[in-house]
Structure 1
Amino acid sequence: MRLMKSTDLALRLLMRLAVVPPDAEPDELPTTRDVAEAMGAATTHMAKVVGKLQHLGLVQARRGRGGGLVLTAAGRAASVGAVVRTFEGSGDLAACVDDDEPCPINAACRLRGALRAAQEAFYTSLDQLSIEDVTAAPTGPLLLTLSRRP
């Protein structure tokens, strides 16, 4: 299974924000642009991800001078599986029904069920991890070096 770019960016953004010290000064908070540059992503794409994470209550974006991004308590405790489900949606792994031509074995196919079960097992394994879990050492210290403001 391959994650969409927006899912990958959302996870990396949440991880980056999880290592910001709680007592960080406003000018030490990473901005959308800072994180986008550090992650090698377009600022516009990262802004869309930030918007969705804000809507979900996982991230706060402070505007203006000294603004930046802050991970909420809900974001810190969020399960990786829940974030992936939200960004990936609940669609099937295989395109069993096309717009014009449905699969000829769709009515008796056992593969579709197996793929659904595998997908759910994937999500279930990620449900056991929180954003805090995936930022433990050695990941957290490395994340701290990314997108530091001068």
Structure 2
Amino acid sequence: MRLLRSTDLALRVLMRLAVAGESRPTTRQVAEVIDVPYTHAAKVVAELQHMGLLAARRGRGGGLVLTEAGRKASIGAVVRAFEGHSEVVECDGSAPCPLRFDCRLRGALRGAQEAFYASLDPFTIEEMAVAPTGPMLLGISSAAPQPWPSQRSGPKTS
């Protein structure tokens, strides 16, 4: 099974915010550190905010912060939310499979997909961001390995 790019990005954003401490990075800073286009990061951040997993504030003293719900969020729940209810194979697509009504494979694949999600359910964002991952998350940057500055002067984008 392959995760959508947005799912991967959501998990990386949440994990990075889990180790941010008191700093409140902007969406632009997050995008730079995890090396993705700002527009992609902004869409994912908006969805995570809508889910209540992070809070975003604009202006001076603003930025992104992981909520308590975000810290305790199940990896499986985040993956389910971003992946949606799509099936592993497309049986009813533009060229529907002739076996789609009497095929046992579809049910078996659906069960395997749910087992995959269920195997991720016990793990939280907070647990995924502890050592050795946490310190490594603090060190990654597209420019230089350093943690986010707590604040920058000038205009901010959350």
Question: CA–CA distance in 1 between the matches of 2:106 and 2:58?
Answer: 46
**Could you tell me how far apart the structure 1 residues matched to 2:122 and 2:105 are?**
26
CA deviation after TM superposition for structure 1 residue 41, in Å: 0.6
Instruction: Say yes or no: does 1:140 pair with 2:134.
Output: yes
Post-superposition CA distance 1:46-69 (Å, at most 9, x none): 001010011111000111123211
Q: Which residue is 2:109 aligned to?
A: 115
Letter aligned with residue 8 of structure 1: D
SS at match of 2:17: helix
- Tell me the percent identity: 62
Report what 1:18 is aligned to.
Answer: 18
| Structure 2 unaligned regions, length at least 5 | 142-147, 153-158
Does 2:102 correspond to 1:102?
Answer: no
Name the residue aligned to 1:2: 2
> What residue is the counterpart of 2:145 in the other structure?
none
Q: What is the letter of the counterpart of residue 108 of structure 1?
A: D
Match of 1:51 in 2: 46
Q: If each structure's helix is expressed as a fraction of its own residues, which one has the higher value?
A: 1
- What SS class does the counterpart of residue 55 from structure 2 fall into? strand
Counterpart Cα distance in 2 of 1:50 and 1:98? 30
2:101 and 2:13 map into 1 onto residues whose CA distance is 42
| Structure 2 CA distance for aligned equivalents of residues 64 and 129 of structure 1 | 34
What's the TM-score once normalised by structure 2's chain length? 0.86
Counterparts of 1:142 and 1:126, CA distance in 2: 22
- The letter of the residue matching 1:83 is V
Number of residues paired by the alignment?
144
TM-score by length of 1: 0.91
| 1:29 CA displacement | 1.6
Structure 1 residue 110: deviation in Å? 1.6
* Residue aligning to 2:30: 35
**Alignment-mate amino acid for residue 37 of structure 2:** A
1-structure distance, mates of 2:110, 2:51: 25
Q: Write out per-residue CA displacement over residues 9-30 of structure 1, whole angstroms, 9 at most, x where no aligned residue.
A: 1000000000122xx2xxx321
Q: How far apart are 1:112 and its partner, in Å?
A: 0.7
Matches within 5 A, 1:88-99: 88-99=83-94
Distance 1:73 1:139, change over 3 A: same
SS in 2 for 1:106: coil
